[in-house]
Amino acid sequence: MKVLITGGSGFIGSHLAERLIAAGEEVFVIDNLWTGKLSNISGIQSNKRFHLVVDTILNEAVMNELVFKADQIYHLAAAVGVRNVMDHPVETLDINVKGTETVLRLANKFKKKVFIASTSEIYGKHVEHSLSEDDNRVMGSVKKRRWAYACSKTLDEFLGLAYHEEKKLPVVIGRLFNTVGPRQTGRYGMVLPTFVQSALLGRPITVYGDGNQTRSFTHVMDVLDAITRLMAEPMAEGEVFNIGSDKEVTINELAQRVKDLTQSESEIEHIPYEKAYGPGFEDMERRCPNITRVGDLIGFKPSYDLDTIITSVIEYFKQ
């Protein structure tokens, strides 16, 4: 089978490319290397079944050729990371909205199955309970650019479902909750690699806000299990699935566990959101998925616990 991965030299995409190559598939990757890195795919770049195109998904001529060749598409390319969203709101909206529209339109042209990587940010400021796929969303003001990413990915979901319902395009949507693991960088505001790097270098482990906000972390290998099995399941088409761990941890607890597992002398310090991201920044107080739907359909259950996840990130940065 021939598979196209948009954003395939990024953190998740490169792991997916490796897995598909190992399974005997032919893999085509397109990446503009904004957040992706060639070093992420160095282990497979010489494989005769691996093909890399360094370009943007907004280049329709290039995308037309790649989509035509592919049997399946994993659409992972996006502007990601809180820092990126805050610093580059125009690029965020361009890539996340226009890029997804291009992928879906061409996929429909050639009737190719598509996985769309969405995000837990979709839920906005929802805090009442573990988040289910059909819950209402609670967005902040359009004046707060923090919500540009969530709104762009919301439109991606609407587009994907519209193509499925109106055009009968086979589309699967996965909302990813804090996917972490080797190769993820802290450069764009990802919390776990930032904490680990600081701890290993003996620098302060910086927690934004009071640290009582909660998150749930999922190892990239568990996420790959979920998305590849969903793509192989016809009943997943036209549906949205939370993909993540239902085990919550506060950011304060995460910082302490990183400190303990690295045996670091680093201090844990708190700074206001405004100092990190500017005035008016808003964050989510809680983000934990209900994973009943994906569990019922494909038997998904995360296999990596938090300490194992943190240890894998520590070993990556030590190397």
Query: What's the pLDDT score for residue 276?
Result: 67
The position carrying tokens 């972490």 is 180
Decide if 149 is catalytic: yes
Q: Which two tokens stand for residue 313?
A: 């990130």
One-letter identity of residue 183: R
User: Choosing from 74, 149, 208, 277, which is the catalytic residue?
Assistant: 149
Query: What's the pLDDT score for residue 139?
Result: 79
Query: What's the pLDDT score for residue 267?
Result: 96
What number of other Cβ atoms are within 10 A of residue 228's Cβ? 19
pTM above 0.85, yes or no: yes
Q: How many residues does the chain have?
A: 319
Q: What is the mean pLDDT of residues 277-301?
A: 87
**Looking at the predicted structure, is the pLDDT value of residue 78 above 70?**
yes
Q: What is the mean pLDDT of residues 45-68?
A: 97
Output DSSP code: residue 97. I
Q: Which two tokens stand for residue 46?
A: 């010489």
Pairing of strands 113-119, 72-75: parallel
The predicted-structure confidence for 88-141, as pLDDT tens digits, reads as follows 778 878 888 999 999 999 999 999 999 999 999 899 887 767 899 999 888 778
CA 262, distance to chain mean position in Å, is 25
The predicted-structure confidence for 238-259, as pLDDT tens digits, reads as follows 999 999 999 999 999 999 999 9
DSSP assignment of 228-272: HHHHT-GGGTTEEEEES----EEHHHHHHHHHHHHT--PPEEEE-
As a whole number, the mean pLDDT across the chain is 92
**Looking at the predicted structure, is the pLDDT value of residue 82 above 90?**
no
If residue 271 lies in a helix (H) or strand (E), which one and from where to where? strand 268-271
Sign of the torsion formed by the C-alpha atoms of 306, 309, 315 and 316: negative
Count CA within 13 A, CB hemisphere, residue 135.
24
Architecture of domain 2-180+218-246+288-303: 3-Layer(aba) Sandwich (3.40)
